């Protein structure tokens, strides 16, 4: 099979990664392993979406790399107050993360099954590299509930079974009624929103964050109490991770 027709299913590898992720929810590399192992037809569906969309076709033709743009914090800070750029900076700085952090996690969690330089490889990297922009516009923080809610949103947008499996696992793991409602609402918000994989994020960075949300069909960010893994470890729900 070619890179554009292969069905990606490796349940054993996905199960091993799910067990590891359950023990350590901060091990982001396992997320990429699960998504890659259970992606099924989703990559081909995404590819068709890109090729059927004018912005998607431009992205595939020009292959812009957004990580250098997001890593240039001085340039982002020079953009207008209240912009998407400033909201993005507020998110990554509050979470203590960087634009290239997910790149390292994906390299540790994926096997490189996509053909180097293929459209599928670019789409996967684009989705990875814009993940924190999705956090920014949806308003979900980088805690367990926020990540699960954003994955619910992403499941509606990508139809990836691996993402759906992580969402279900998150629901059973968290077991808070309010959190389950928030995650379910993430699925609904993703269904109502504009299809975001082909968004030209670079052009939206200087625009007011509220205008961006309106353009993307995203309602006001939800208010909730973040749930961090550090809290669960302190409560004995999760085992401490060895340094």
Q: Residue 190 CA to chain centroid, in angstroms?
A: 12
Q: How far apart are the first and last CA of the chain?
A: 42
Beta bridge pairs of residue 83: 208
Structure tokens of 241?
Answer: 């991770």
Angle at 50 between CA 45 and CA 51, to 5 degrees: 95
Q: Which of 70-84, 124-138, 164-178, 208-222 has the lowest mean pLDDT?
A: 164-178
CB count, 10 Å around CB of 223? 7
Whole-number Å distance between alpha carbons of 8 and 43: 9
Whole-number Å distance between alpha carbons of 147 and 154: 10
Over 70: is that where the pLDDT of 243 sits?
Answer: no
Tens of pLDDT along 51-87?
999 999 999 999 999 999 999 999 999 999 999 999 9
Tens of pLDDT along 129-150?
999 999 999 999 999 999 999 9
Tens of pLDDT along 181-192?
999 999 999 999
Banded model confidence at residue 107, pLDDT cuts 50, 70, 90: confident
Burial of 203 (0-12, 13-18, 19+ CB in 10 A): exposed
Half-sphere exposure of 77 (CA within 13 A, CB side): 7
Q: What is the pTM of this model?
A: 0.90
């Amino acid at each position: 099979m070619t890179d554009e027709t292969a069905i990606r299913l490796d349940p054993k590898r996905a199960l091993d990664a799910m067990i590891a992720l359950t023990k350590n929810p901060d091990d982001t590399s396992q997320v990429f392993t699960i998504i890659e192992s259970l992606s099924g037809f989703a990559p081909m569906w995404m590819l068709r979406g890109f090729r059927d969309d004018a912005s998607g076709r431009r992205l595939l033709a020009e292959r812009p790399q957004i990580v250098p743009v997001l890593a240039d914090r001085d340039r982002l800070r020079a953009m207008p107050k209240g912009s998407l750029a400033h909201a993005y900076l507020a998110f990554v700085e509050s979470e203590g993360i960087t634009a290239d952090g997910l790149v390292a996690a994906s390299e540790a969690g994926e096997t490189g099954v996509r053909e180097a330089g293929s459209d599928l490889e670019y789409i996967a990297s684009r989705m990875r590299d814009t993940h924190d922009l999705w956090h920014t516009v949806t308003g979900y923080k980088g805690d367990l509930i926020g990540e699960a809610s954003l994955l619910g949103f992403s499941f509606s947008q990508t139809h990836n079974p691996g993402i759906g499996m992580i969402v279900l696992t998150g629901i059973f793991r968290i077991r808070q009624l309010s959190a389950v409602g928030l995650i379910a609402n993430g699925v609904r918000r993703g269904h109502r929103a504009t299809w975001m994989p082909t968004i030209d994020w670079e052009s939206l960075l200087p625009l007011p964050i509220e205008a961006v949300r309106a353009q993307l069909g995203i309602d006001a960010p939800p208010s909730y109490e973040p749930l961090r893994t550090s809290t669960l470890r302190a409560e004995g729900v999760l085992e401490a991770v060895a340094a």
